[in-house]
Amino acid sequence: MLETSNLCAGYLKDPVLQDVNLDVQPGEVVAVVGPNGAGKTTLVRVLSGVLKPAQGRVFIQRRDVTRLDHTSRARFLAVVPQAHNLPPDFTVYQTVLLGRTPYLGWLGHLSEGDHRLVWEALDYTHITDMADRLVGRLSGGEQQRVLLARALVQNTAVLLLDEPTTYLDLEHQSLTLNLIRVLASEMQKAVLMVIHDLNLAALYADRVVLLHNGQVVTAGRPGEVLTEANLAAVYNTSVRVIPHPDYGTPLILPDSSYQKGLLITESVQAAGCAGAGQ
């Protein structure tokens, strides 16, 4: 459904992504994880056709993304960016309705079917009661759900999400990620999401891609990728990985013994400095 081949990309002469190969199948959720600056958002920009690759290719349903015009891309792929730059004076309903733009003719007439899809998307994302509210008066978490609803009404085979749980509280993180799982399993959408929370990636993703310095370090099932050795090497910090007691998925925890060691060292150093001054 979505595939990259030897993908390289960057900005001017600054390379960011190097030889990235990945794929997402119908009905699958793939999580891209990695530290800040790893190239995750750049990857979403290239996959969505916003940024042209310097080398390599991106395919959606065997079609080269770089050869599709903006409208055609929007019929194959929907993007949920981080919440920002939404039209503040648009209502939630008007903003979600923008997702139907790729399907409108020259005259821009909206059908009953278009409006029905908008209400279904509002219901899916639990924001029906916000339909008449101005987007500029919503919280960041509410805006994030508006963006997801807008992507749903595009009715595409591929869904890209850049930090879909940003600004969301625990309830709405669960609601959003469960919805993403439903979209993948029941509607056979190919979903790729960039996410910082490794535990959420382990719980909701079928496969995980670990990105570092613009390269794929490893990819596979969560238990294969989210190991203590892999995470320590990429994130430069010690962690503990244990099986989740209920789900069996990897549960990533800070290494408390490592932190205690730092605190003991700092405490000894501080005492030494204080003693030297006496």
> pLDDT digit string (tens) for 90-121?
999 999 999 999 888 666 688 899 999 999 99
- The tokens describing 143, both together, are 């805006």
All domains of the chain in start order, with CATH = 2-222 (3.40.50.300)
Q: Which segments of 158-274 are extended strands (E)?
A: 158-162, 190-194, 207-212, 215-220, 239-243, 250-254
Instruction: Check residue 100 and give its pLDDT.
Output: 93
Whether residue 278 is predicted with pLDDT greater than 50 in this model: the reply is no
Q: How far apart are CA 35 and CA 46, in angstroms?
A: 19
pLDDT above 60 for 31: yes
The tokens of 56 are what? 């390599």
- Residue 171 has a pLDDT of 86
Is there a contact between 153 and 100 (Cβ–Cβ < 8 Å)? Answer: yes
Residue 155 gets the label, from left (phi > 0), alpha (psi -120 to 50) or beta, of left
**106: helix, strand or coil:** coil
Residue, of 232 and 258, whose pLDDT is higher? 232
Alpha-carbon gap, residue 43 to 21, rounded angstroms: 11
| Average pLDDT rounded to a whole number, residues 169-198 | 91
In the sheet that holds 190-194, the strands lie side by side as 77-80, 158-162, 190-194, 29-33, 207-212, 215-220
Separation CA 226–CA 228 (nearest Å) = 7
Cβ(65)–Cβ(47) below 8 Å = yes
Give the closest residue to 249 by CA, choosing from 222, 273, 211, 218.
Answer: 222
For the ranges 4-13, 243-252, 266-275, the lowest mean pLDDT is seen at 266-275
Mean pLDDT, the chain, whole residue set: 88
Higher pLDDT, 131 or 140: 131
Q: Is the pLDDT of residue 237 over 50?
A: yes
Identify the CA nearest to 34 among candidates 211, 254, 221, 224: 211
**What confidence score (pLDDT) does residue 44 get?**
92
C-beta separation of 32 from 52 below 8 A = no
H/E element, 95: helix 92-97
